[in-house]
Amino acid sequence: MRLITHNLLQCHVKNCNSNNFPLKIEDAQVELIEADYNPEFLVNMLPKIDWPVLVNTAKQLGLPEIPAQVPEDAENNEAFLQGLHSVLLETHIQQGRMICPGCGHVFNIKEGIPNMLLAEHEI
Ligand SMILES: [Zn+2]
């Protein structure tokens, strides 16, 4: 599971409508998997990313630091975009779990795939 997915993911358990983002990551095993660098994609994603969440997640997982704020020249800042590419698209959580801060639901991650399925009473 790439960090871009984590950054866009919220809990969807029934009646869990507040405090359901970000999911708290625990016991993560991280792997770097090379991906094609596409600066236009990154620039387009920037407004959709919850930046403070990404900064915290990178810190928690011990990844190379990303700036606390998006630089003003982000579109033309090659070093920034390369760093963002690595954190957002090449960093995969292979094992671990995500916990909803609101309802405490645990979403397990196995072999890089988060299990977002809910039991019937949670839908
Ligand atoms: Zn929840």
CATH assignment at residue 80: 2.20.25.10
What is the whole-number distance in angstroms between the Cα of residue 98 and the centre of ligand 1?
10
Q: How many domains does the chain have?
A: 1
pLDDT category, 65, cuts 50, 70, 90? confident
CA of 16 to the centre of ligand 1 (A): 5
Cα 26 to ligand 1 centre (Å):
16
Is 49 inside a domain boundary?
yes
Å from CA of 116 to ligand 1 middle: 11
Checking 10-14 for CB contacts under 8 A at 24+ apart, the result is: 11/100, 11/102, 11/103, 11/105, 11/107, 12/116, 12/118, 13/100, 13/103, 13/105, 13/118, 13/122, 14/118, 14/121, 14/122, 14/123
81 alpha carbon – ligand 1 mean position (Å): 32
The model's confidence at residue 119, banded by pLDDT at 50, 70 and 90, is confident
Predicted confidence (pLDDT) per residue in 14-38, tens digit: 999 999 999 999 999 999 999 999 9
84 in any annotated domain? yes
Give the domain range for residue 91: 3-9+25-98
